[in-house]
Amino acid sequence: MSYITGGVEYPPPQVNIDFRAGHFPNDVKEVYYHSGQAGDQRIGQDVSGKKVGTKEMDTLCPYFKNPESKVVKELLPVVFEWYDADNLPDGFEAVARRILASTVWHLSQGRFQKDYPSHEVLLESPLFEGDRLKRLADELGNHFTVNAEETVDNEIIDAKPSLTGVGYRDRRMTSIENNTSEPHLRRIVREESGNNANHTVLLERLTTFEERVSQQMRQMESRISISYGHNISAPVNECMPTFKHDDGKEYLVPEDFKFPTCTILPAFKSWFFTGGSKSKVGRFKNLSGNDIPTKNATLQNARKRWSDWRHVMSYYAQVLDKVPELNWRENFDYKARRIIIREVQKLAPLCKTGTIPTMLSVRTLAAKLRKLQRRKQ
């Protein structure tokens, strides 16, 4: 659970994590919380240990291409002493086959033997007796090709599992990684150049290919940015609106002004770029403490929250300023938002177990940041 909440770049919804971990001590959450398939499937991908953003995400778990294979049915109860097909819970027979397939694949690759060369329990496994490991390995499907059809005795079978828990970002990164691999580049050069290849032709072809990949990257970043809002630019020729109070004076905030309760990215956008969409206040960065009068309880609280917001926004603005060639003040794009998310996730050790730092309010982030800074002093 700690890995899912703080060890992955884009953690699944908290409700899915709670359901997986069984963290529902009372009946209230079980009534009102419901775990959707998409989030649960994403957890399965994350805990599998695959590298996010690589072609590893586009691979299936090991499986047997023919679940009804005589070899598989014969050796399941031999390898797993507890296996009894007639008395297993519903669906557990498929789970046992997947466990065996994964074990066989890793053993056939020599990974377990390399990591645990003297593991007595492993070496005493019935899998190592005779040719059992080889026979089962021959029954494995090709889990590296998601869309290819499986055949047994020249007949297409429907045993290949579907790939779930992989989003658009992972698929696009896999596509780009495949298109820029060395074998793919060599194939393109052979196909495009033919027998009359010369240096100029090859350079032109590779340049065209590089431009195509760059365009794919830009399109992918544009699509991903939808998750956090479109790219944002600072307003030009800004004029801060004013609000007339009961005392006849004009201020930069209304009498009922409150800083919104939101997480880091919407707050960052409001502070530097858009201001308050509900309160109609201009960019919060242009406010000073004196612009927020303390003549009522609401504004007194807003003055305190302004201090929290200024502390948090100044801290992460300095982080972005240190990144070379990142013109984030003119174009708050996906790259800038991603840097902020990574920095906020560093506060995970200061949070309660199960808390996602990027979901904290600005007020809570300010408290965590101040605590972190005191530790460093």
- pLDDT tens for 175-200 read 666 666 666 666 666 666 555 555 56
Checking DSSP bridges between strand 243-244 and strand 155-157, what pairing results, if any? unpaired
How do residues 1-28 score in pLDDT, each as one tens digit?
676 766 666 677 777 887 777 776 566 6
Write down which residue in 58, 78, 93 finishes a domain: 58
Calculate mean pLDDT across residues 90-102: 84
Question: Is the model more confident about 323 or about 205?
Answer: 323
Residue 26 lies in a domain: yes
Burial 42-55 (b: 16+ CB within 10 A, else e): bbebbeeebebeeb
Write down which residue in 58, 81, 104 finishes a domain: 58
Could you tell me where the beta strands, DSSP code E, fall in 128-214?
150-152, 155-157
The verdict on 11 and 47 lying in the same domain is: yes
pLDDT at 181: 61
Distance CA 64, CA 143 (A): 9
Q: Would you list the DSSP string of 152-172?
A: ETTEEES-PPPP-S--HHHHH
Q: Which residues pair with 332 in a beta bridge?
A: 232
Residue 87 lies in a domain: yes
Q: Which residues pair with 244 in a beta bridge?
A: 250
The verdict on 357 and 264 lying in the same domain is: yes
Residue 224 lies in a domain: yes
pLDDT at 368: 92
Residues 6 or more apart whose CB falls under 8 angstroms from that of 250 comprise 242, 243, 244
Q: Which domain holds residue 30?
A: 2-58
Tell me which residue of 138, 160, 137, 133 sits closest to 149, measured CA to CA. Answer: 160
Checking DSSP bridges between strand 155-157 and strand 150-152, what pairing results, if any? antiparallel
Report the domain count for the chain: 4
Residue 65 lies in a domain: no
Residue 110 lies in a domain: yes
pLDDT at 228: 40
The verdict on 195 and 290 lying in the same domain is: no
How do residues 104-129 score in pLDDT, each as one tens digit?
888 887 766 676 666 655 666 777 77
